[in-house]
Structure 1
Amino acid sequence: MSKFMILLYNQPSTWADLSPEQMQEAVQKYFAWGDNLRKKGIYLGSDKLTDGVGKVLRGKKDVRVTDGPFTEGKEFLGGYYAFTAANYEEAVELTREHPHLEYGGIVEIREIHDMHRG
């Protein structure tokens, strides 16, 4: 089995039009999707990232630190899930049902290469 991570990208308006009740319903769908991975024994982890708050580092010798990422008018990384799957095809099939797609989000799937020593 290989490890995969899905990266969940939002548009600034993705959640703006939802009522508190609709937002709670969406959160429950995300929890249920993760619970399904747990039941299958393939869940590795997940988290939501803070909205628009972070730091960006650039440079080689003189590393510059700036506020960011800036999200005006474009998608931003909002969270991730990690799980195991046999291959990309299986990872895609598992991800097709993710509620992030239902809410107009973008989902990127990446394979994780294990870099642990020993």
Structure 2
Amino acid sequence: MNQSSNNNEFVFLFRQPASNHSPEKQKEINKKWNDWIGNIAAQGKIAANGLHLKPGGNVLKASGIVTDGPFVEIREILGGFIVIKADTMEEAITMAHGCPTFDEGGSVEIRTAFAD
């Protein structure tokens, strides 16, 4: 992967505690997210808009067993993701600062994306 070009893509996976907010609080949270992502987009750094993910789902194991999930034994959920463009992992980490998930006690997992 060429580290000196602006073609590197990184995935931000947003993990946050499961919670139920009032409509007013959710509107406030959504504005923070829109502002934060809008700032990244204004820099031309969004490679692909991810999706919001609903809680719950299923996990298919290699054995063919399907369980409720994902990871129902932990207290945080994978709330969504976006794909961003950055020159380096360090730049991607800097871009993740200020993410609204931190206000809720969440985290951002940053992964390098690549195509074979």
TM-score (norm 2): 0.83
Gap change, CA 1:3 and 1:73, over 3 Å in 2? closer
Partner of 2:12: 6
* SS of the residue 1:48 aligns to: coil
Structure 2: any 5+ residue segments left out of the alignment? 1-5
Superposed, which structure 2 residues align to 1:1-118 within 5 Å? 1=6, 2-12=8-18, 15-16=19-20, 18-43=21-46, 44-52=48-56, 54-59=57-62, 62-115=63-116
Measure, in 1, the Cα distance between the counterparts of 2:66 and 2:44. 39
TM-score (norm 1): 0.81
Is the 2:16–2:104 contact (alpha carbons within 8 Å) kept by the matching residues of 1? no
Q: Deviations over 1:22-46 (max 9, x none)?
A: 2101011111112112211111212
Query: Between the two proteins, what is the percent identity of the paired residues?
Result: 34
Measure, in 1, the Cα distance between the counterparts of 2:35 and 2:45. 14
